[in-house]
Amino acid sequence: MKIDNLLSLLSDGAFHSGRELGETLGISRSAVWKQIQRLEALGIEVYSVKGRGYRIPAGLDLLDQARFAEMLAPELVARLDRLEFTKEVESTNVLALAALRSGARNGLFAAEFQTRGRGRRGREWVSPYAANLCFSLAWRFSAGLAALEGLSLGVGLALREGLRRIGVEDVQLKWPNDLLSRGRKLGGILVEVSGDAAGECEVVIGVGLNVAMPAKQLEQISQPSIDVSSLVSSHPGRNRLLAILVESLIETLDTFESQGFAVMREQWQQANAHRDAAVRLISGVNEISGICRGVDDRGALLLESEGAVQAYYGGEISVRAQQG
């Protein structure tokens, strides 16, 4: 696609004239201008200066499958049946699920832009082109559906550990699948499971992480949000960051498959964004208030209300801090 080639040319952050771009791409200058409009529609800021040409401020940190594979430990690369980076896709979870259904044991799928990226409860995941990390890890488990209880919480811990390795120290986890920092949303997890109650299960772990969001677009998100670049003096680049997160994820999945969530419970308690705080649990039109007492060995949220502690499981339940 010519737009991919145009992105590669402009990713260095320097000015390129319309004539230079047209000659390199083998298209007219008017066609270049139309492609620039397409980039802007994807949320990419492009400067246009008469006499100098086009420039993407600060350039683009594009994902590169070959570079990523070099940064990931060889034994982990060997464990991935499928490794696929794409520019634009409906959803990386869709790619991961298709790979599992075609017989793959596992795989990693990443994209610069998702046209229908989803968060939990069907919400849209907002992510400008090449600004964040949107990826899915496909994985098979052999112990049955019941053994997967608490998986999304374990995934949160894995991502938290990966971010700690690059110097992000203050990540908290909001049950069941959000990453927060300084009270703002940093990322989200969407785990989709199918399979046998007692046998093999297919799991797709979708991750959206704010890495370098343009300030204007960060402000447009419906809830207070933050990105990695705001939390470290310099982040290692998206390819390296992705490699670190995948390494941490695979380590955690190995532990989870052999020992379950129970061994991770205390670590999750320490990261709980609502630890011993007043919260509201919302499920459709129903709402219950109480004190968050963490989670049990199965990953259920423990809520103390009217002198009793009750366990609540995921699905369509949301947790909100009490105001005032």
114 known member of a binding site: yes
Q: Which of 34, 101, 182, 320 is an active site residue? A: 320
Exposed, middle or buried, 217 (CB in 10 Å: 0-12/13-18/19+)? middle
Q: Which of 55, 160, 185, 238 is an active site residue? A: 185
Q: Tell me the C-alpha distance between 120 and 139, whole Å.
A: 19
Q: Tell me the C-alpha distance between 14 and 210, whole Å.
A: 25
50 known member of a binding site: no
Residue 11 has which token pair?
């990713």
In the annotation, is 87 catalytic? no
91 known member of a binding site: yes
DSSP per-residue string spanning 66-112: HHHHHHS-HHHHTT-SEEEEEEEES-HHHHHHHHHHTT-SEEEEEEE
307 known member of a binding site: no
82 known member of a binding site: no
**Amino acid letter for position 265:** R
290 known member of a binding site: no
User: Alpha helix locations (H) across 90-166?
Assistant: 92-101, 151-164
Beta strands in the chain (DSSP E): 47-49, 53-55, 82-89, 106-114, 133-141, 171-174, 178-181, 184-195, 201-209, 278-283, 286-295, 301-305, 308-312, 318-321
With a CB cutoff of 8 Å and minimum separation 6, the contacts of 3 are 35, 38, 39, 87
118 known member of a binding site: yes
Backbone dihedral region of 106: left (phi > 0), alpha (psi from -120 to 50 degrees) or beta? Answer: beta
In the annotation, is 320 catalytic? yes
Q: Which of 55, 120, 238, 293 is an active site residue? A: 120
In the annotation, is 120 catalytic? yes
Residue 288's beta-bridge partner residues? Answer: 281
24 known member of a binding site: no
Residues marked active site are found at: 120, 185, 320
Binding residues for biotin, by number, are 91-93, 114, 118-120, 185
Q: Which residues are annotated as a binding site?
A: 91-93, 114, 118-120, 185
